[in-house]
Amino acid sequence: MKKNSVQSGRMKSNVLIMLLICVITSASCNGKQKQAGAGSSDVAADNPKVEKAKEDIVGRIKELYAGTDRIGESNERFACHSWWEMVEAVDKKDADLEEIGFFNDDLWTQMQDSNSDDFEVRDIKFLQMDVEKGTALVDFVLWSSIQTVHQKFELCREDGDWRIHNIIRYRPDSDGKEVEVDMMREMRDYLAEPQEGASELTFANMDGIYDSLDEDMNSVSRICLNADGTATWGMIGSLHYTEYTYTIKGHTIFMKPKGVDTEEECYDYDEDTRTLKNEQGAVYYRQVVE
């Protein structure tokens, strides 16, 4: 009887172990399924709004490369304001150069003097899509009989249309591998470089007061740059202000709030107008202190 009891006990133990393994396995599988569901995006979702947005974006990209008058300044309607403001700033910097400046080829085709007239947009892939925020990232191949180009468009929803906010190009490195080139970042870095013949900005010569003005030329807000590398920003008439430290790269001022983990605020300095201009387009005029 004792032997049978022992065997019976072992059988019960084995059954319990098997049940426990099944429960753990089931929970693990369910957990993976939930995790996979949580990580999915609305790019591939069967959502009428998403499908409509994707259809509109594909149409805009194909329209950009259709016809004979698709390349050049006329296509400002295809890009957002911040993109064209950046392009115009680069063109302004290069206006008096005798040699080739930043743009050595066409913005949209990456070609130089032999733009084709038979472009075809192929292999469009939506890598990111947020209809509510109005942002998207699209990968595609631009084919022509002269050249085939691989690039990405970052798009935003602006003025009622999907517009190109940035171009990410692919160029081969020394090993023939594709390397991403972020055009917006490249242009920003280029503008930060000191122009040949321009005076170098220093804490000492940037020391001063810079005010934004309303339509009646009244001061609204104020930036104070100090010679020790500190700065403040505040509204005129307010006792509250934000403290910053700042650095200078070329003709760009990078201000970082003290004690706050946030991105730097960038201001481009124009020597001709003695103004600071941020990425949102706000202009601060240097004040003459008597």
Q: What is the pLDDT of residue 27?
A: 43
**C-alpha–C-alpha distance, residues 284 and 220, integer Å:** 10
Tell me if the pTM is above 0.85. no
Helix (H, G, I), strand (E, B) or coil at 112: coil
Q: What is the pLDDT of residue 71?
A: 52
Q: What is the pLDDT of residue 16?
A: 43
218-227 burial, b at 16+ Cβ within 10 Å, e below that, comes to ebebbbbbee
Contact 246, 235 (CB under 8 A): no
C-alpha of 166 from chain center? 7
Q: What is the pLDDT of residue 7?
A: 44
Q: What is the pLDDT of residue 44?
A: 58
pLDDT tens for 110-145 read 776 556 667 889 999 999 999 999 999 999 999 888
Q: What is the pLDDT of residue 39?
A: 33
Which residues, in sequence order, are CB contacts of 287 under 8 Å at separation 6+? Answer: 208, 209, 210, 211, 219
Q: What angle do CA 28, 32, 38 make, to 5 degrees?
A: 145
pLDDT tens for the chain, 290 residues long, are: 444 444 444 444 444 444 444 444 444 434 433 333 333 344 655 788 999 999 999 998 998 888 545 555 446 778 888 888 888 888 888 887 777 788 877 788 877 655 666 788 999 999 999 999 999 999 999 988 888 889 999 999 998 899 999 999 988 777 878 888 899 999 988 888 766 656 688 999 999 999 999 988 899 999 999 999 999 999 999 999 999 999 998 889 999 999 888 889 999 998 888 899 998 889 999 997 65
Number of H helices, E strands in the chain: 5, 13
**C-alpha–C-alpha distance, residues 107 and 103, integer Å:** 8
Contact 191, 268 (CB under 8 A): yes
Q: What angle do CA 198, 280, 264 make, to 5 degrees?
A: 70
Distances (CA, A) of 223 to 29, 63, 206, 255, 262: 57, 44, 11, 10, 18
